[in-house]
């Protein structure tokens, strides 16, 4: 644990000229013009100081596997699933760990210090679960890594999936996952939700299901998930990820659904980069956007976060671990360009996913952990516009990554000019 003084920071809530005193890795005081004491100092120079970025929906077992065993030529979800099926028998624990550690290095440099990753448990070897539990131990000083036992091939569709899921939880995997829309029938999908929620309630665990990742407006497993959350008293411990069928549902049904989710305390995670890419593939024109109803859920009082989902894997050949890229896509797709709406998009990759994951000590109040990212921007909205460098990434009061400020030196007609992209 470390002591540190940060001077002249701008905070996401609009406060400026703020000093932050860190003692033993926690925030002790936030105030203006704190007296000088004999501990290391950082001058934020008016830049934005935020809590770290948080990705509440990712697939680290597949990360950086792009091109293995071949490239997804169509870029579609179905070819990606087929590719993953081809790759799974070829996976080794060493390669899984190496790729995940490489990505964690990317994440740290981008100020991404908490990740919830889904782990495919349909391989009876549970190779990915073992590998990512190893990664979790290795990166614990830097990244809060939360693992979801994910039955990629369907809980009931894959004969050993439920047993494997229970084994993964016993090994130390944190969260119960599911994929009800991938079961053979709507009825089996609903049954899988019941079984998984009851198991989570019995074990006192959180739930995060890939739910209704479909363009089919009749894929309504989120309603079943909200029902069992309410029935079993799992309030504020359950998340529906993707929820893309909601973009195709009629408004009358959604007007019933959103209050049910709010009453049960079910959170939602949209994955803008992937949802806008994979959904609507069967449409000609008009073409659906593919992302769930983010503004409407926020207006209904539902917690909504944005996830990265994929980086250079069978489903998505792009990505860099930058949650500001994710938030920017979400902002544009959801047409959330109002001032408060843009700030909500920044929250969707910081404090909202931290709340969904149940991260302890996360925040910008005295007593919280001194985990920060200082960006070369003056506000959260400017950060969304510029996606600037992360000048400092700080964990428990210690600098773990540092990048020079972003500017260009132009040499024009014999004169040298420095250009900043901030105004």
List, in order, residues 6 or more apart from 337 with CB less than 8 Å away: 331
Nearest-angstrom CA–CA distance, 198 and 202:
6
Q: Coil, strand or helix: which one is 175?
A: strand
For the sheet with 398-402, list strands across it.
48-50, 372-375, 390-395, 398-402
CB 56 within 8 A of CB 239: yes
Nearest-angstrom CA–CA distance, 397 and 381:
25
CB 269 within 8 A of CB 232: no
The two three-digit tokens of residue 336, written as one number: 């959330």
Out of 28, 79, 86, 213, the active site residue is 213
186 burial level (CB within 10 Å; 0-12, 13-18, 19+): middle
Which region, left, alpha or beta, applies to residue 39 given φ > 0 means left and ψ of -120 to 50 means alpha? beta
- 360 a catalytic residue: no
Annotated catalytic sites, by residue? 213
């Amino acid at each position: 644990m470390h002591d540190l003084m940060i001077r002249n920071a701008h905070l996401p809530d609009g406060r400026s000229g703020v000093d932050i005193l860190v003692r033993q890795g926690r925030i002790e005081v936030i105030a203006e013009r704190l007296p000088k004491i004999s501990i290391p100092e950082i001058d934020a120079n008016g830049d934005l100081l935020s809590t770290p970025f948080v990705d509440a929906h990712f697939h680290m077992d597949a990360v950086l596997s792009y091109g293995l065993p071949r490239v997804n030529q169509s870029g579609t979800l179905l070819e990606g699933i087929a590719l993953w099926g081809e790759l799974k028998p070829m996976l080794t624990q060493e390669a899984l760990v190496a790729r995940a550690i490489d990505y964690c290095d990317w994440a740290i440099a981008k100020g991404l210090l908490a990740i919830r990753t889904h782990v495919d448990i349909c391989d009876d070897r549970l190779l990915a679960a073992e590998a990512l539990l190893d990664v979790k131990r290795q990166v614990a000083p830097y990244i809060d890594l939360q693992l979801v036992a994910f039955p990629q091939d369907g809980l009931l569709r894959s004969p050993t999936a439920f047993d494997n899921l229970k084994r993964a939880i016993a090994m130390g995997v944190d969260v119960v996952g599911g994929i009800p829309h991938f079961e053979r029938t709507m009825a089996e999908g609903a049954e899988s939700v019941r079984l998984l929620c009851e198991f989570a309630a019995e074990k006192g665990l959180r739930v995060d299901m890939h739910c209704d990742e479909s363009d089919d407006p009749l894929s309504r497993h989120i309603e079943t998930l909200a029902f069992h959350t309410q029935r079993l008293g799992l309030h504020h411990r359950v998340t529906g990820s993707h929820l893309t069928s909601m973009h195709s549902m009629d408004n009358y049904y959604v007007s019933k659904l959103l209050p049910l989710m709010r009453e049960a305390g079910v959170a939602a995670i949209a994955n803008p980069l992937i949802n806008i890419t994979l959904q609507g593939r069967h449409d000609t024109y008009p073409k659906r956007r593919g992302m769930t109803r983010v503004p409407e859920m926020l207006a209904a009082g539902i917690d909504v976060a944005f996830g990265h989902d994929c980086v250079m894997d069978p489903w998505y050949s792009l990505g860099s671990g930058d949650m500001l890229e994710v938030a920017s896509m979400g902002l544009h797709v959801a047409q959330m360009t109002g001032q408060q709406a843009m700030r909500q998009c920044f929250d969707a990759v910081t404090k909202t996913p931290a709340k969904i994951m149940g991260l302890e000590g996360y925040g910008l109040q005295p007593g919280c952990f001194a985990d920060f990212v200082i960006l070369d921007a003056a506000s959260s909205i400017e950060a969304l516009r510029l996606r600037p460098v992360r000048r400092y990434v700080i964990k428990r009061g210690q600098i773990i990554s540092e990048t020079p400020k972003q500017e260009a030196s132009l040499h024009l007609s014999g004169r040298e000019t420095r250009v900043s992209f901030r105004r």
